[in-house]
Amino acid sequence: MTIVLTHKLSGLREVDAPHSLVAHFGPDHALQMDSGGRLNQWTIAYQTYGELNAAKSNAILVCHALTGDQHVANAHPVTGKPGWWSTMVGPGRPIDTDRYFVICSNVIGGCMGTTGPASLNPQTGRPYGLELPIVTIRDMVRAQAMLIDHLGVDTLFCVVGGSMGGMQVLQWVASFPERVFSAMPIATAAKHSSQNIAFHEVGRQAVMADPDWRKGRYLEEGVIPTKGLAVARMAAHITYLSDEALQSKFGRKLQDRDAPTFSFDAEFQIENYLRYQGSSFVDRFDPNSYLYVTRACDYFDLAADYDGSLARAFQGVKARFCVVSFNSDWLYPTAASRAIVHALNAGGASVSFVDIETDRGHDAFLLDLPEFIATSQGFLDSAAKARGLPPAAP
């Protein structure tokens, strides 16, 4: 039996018919997962920008964050908004699509065309829901590596990403040290802290507390736990911004009024902003995917796979690194980046470390901050020279 689903949310149409290139893998390229699970049939949706050179030496893999996707530098097919990293990726940008062949794929567990919990389980003909094995950061990277093979790229010129994307960068150099020439882990950590897990757990409980979640089978029952997902997003969003950023952007300003109304309405601008973040998110993201990607981060502890030694995880790493943190990021604070740098130094890697001063918090990596853009540009230019790539056209 095959269930025909009418995905209520526009975003979920991308599960079946993504506005992207899609690579399909069958049993001869099964995805063996950390949990012991195995996907005999799976797909990965991706975007590319620019041209792969003859030497195949100019490919950059961009890894997206928790609720990001492959639409890094093109208009988003669901929201119509510009690509999520248009400040960094494009002609003349640090990740210059006139010079580099840029690849960005949706992670395993996602909902933009790569196999995730909203995808049909070929064994049952219904959506996976929670039947999809738990996904880890390493599973995401395994899938990306198979995509890179499929694209005929042996060594990536650079792997770059922020937040959960940065975790993938770290996993790439640990899992495939020979395949990475340079790496930029940004605003990230080598393991999820107790507080990180705590916030993610609140989000998952908010989704699961919604009676429309239906133990994960909502798609077949024609409902969507949008209220729970919106609450999850609101809580998470606070962690993406610094206290100072909230204070300078919103402070205690009232929403469209001069005096308080003494009610439970969105009286303060910050409330209105958060409610908007929650309600707009549910139009583009699958609630079960949210469970999977948050869980993947929680399981991330790179050192744990190497007898608890992060330095050992990076042993033999040849890539040159640029580690970037933001001093007001309290989700993955500077100290977490410093720990990565220490471990890389212990392994003898070439590392530059930039802690950028900004009050914007974790989300700073998505913003057009001159110091961040210049740092990225400088690192990539220098790595390109070392890689023997021709300089940018004048």
Residues 6+ apart with CB under 8 A from 140: 63, 107, 108, 109, 168, 171, 296
Specify the residue, 64 or 200, whose C-beta has the smaller distance to a second copy: 200
231 touches a second copy (CB under 8 A): yes
Give catalytic status of residue 368 as yes or no: no
**Of 69, 96, 139, 329, catalytic:** 329
339 touches a second copy (CB under 8 A): no
Residues 6+ apart with CB under 8 A from 390: 99
238 touches a second copy (CB under 8 A): yes
Q: Provide the Cα torsion 175, 177, 183, 186; round to 10°.
A: 30
What token pair was written down for 44?
């990965």
167 touches a second copy (CB under 8 A): no
Specify the residue, 7 or 237, whose C-beta has the smaller distance to a second copy: 237
221 touches a second copy (CB under 8 A): no
Tell me the closest approach of the beta carbon of residue 310 to a second copy, in angstroms: 14
- The residue whose two tokens read 């399981």 is 299
Specify the residue, 245 or 341, whose C-beta has the smaller distance to a second copy: 245
Residues 6+ apart with CB under 8 A from 258: none
Is the Cβ–Cβ distance between 31 and 133 less than 8 Å?
Answer: no
116 touches a second copy (CB under 8 A): no
Instruction: Give the 3-state secondary structure of residue 19.
Output: coil
Among the candidate windows 50-58, 62-70, 206-214, 348-356, which touches a second copy by CB under 8 A?
A: 206-214
Give catalytic status of residue 163 as yes or no: yes
Tell me the closest approach of the beta carbon of residue 302 to a second copy, in angstroms: 12
The verdict on whether residue 363 carries a ligand-binding annotation is yes
**Of 163, 242, 289, 328, catalytic:** 163
Rounded to a whole number of angstroms, the distance between the first and last alpha carbons of the chain is: 59
Q: Looking at this protein, which amino acid is placed at residue 214?
A: R
Give catalytic status of residue 28 as yes or no: no
Candidates 98, 149, 154, 201; binder of a second copy (CB under 8 A) is: 201
Strand bridging mode 101-105 / 320-326: unpaired
**What's the rounded Cα separation, in Å, for the pair 240 and 196?**
12
Tell me how many degrees the CA angle 139-140-146 measures, rounded to the nearest 5: 90
The neighbour count for residue 259, using CB atoms within 10 Å, is: 6
Query: What stretch of H or E contains 324?
Result: strand 320-326
The verdict on whether residue 233 carries a ligand-binding annotation is yes
291 touches a second copy (CB under 8 A): yes
Is the Cβ–Cβ distance between 108 and 296 less than 8 Å?
Answer: no
Specify the residue, 113 or 278, whose C-beta has the smaller distance to a second copy: 278
362 touches a second copy (CB under 8 A): no
Binding residues for substrate: 233, 363
- Site residues (vs a second copy, CB under 8 A): 34-37, 130, 133-134, 191-195, 197-199, 201-202, 204-206, 208-211, 227-228, 230-231, 234-235, 238, 243, 246-247, 249-252, 260, 262-264, 266-268, 270-271, 274-275, 278, 291, 295, 298-299, 301, 330, 333
Catalytic residues: 163, 329, 362
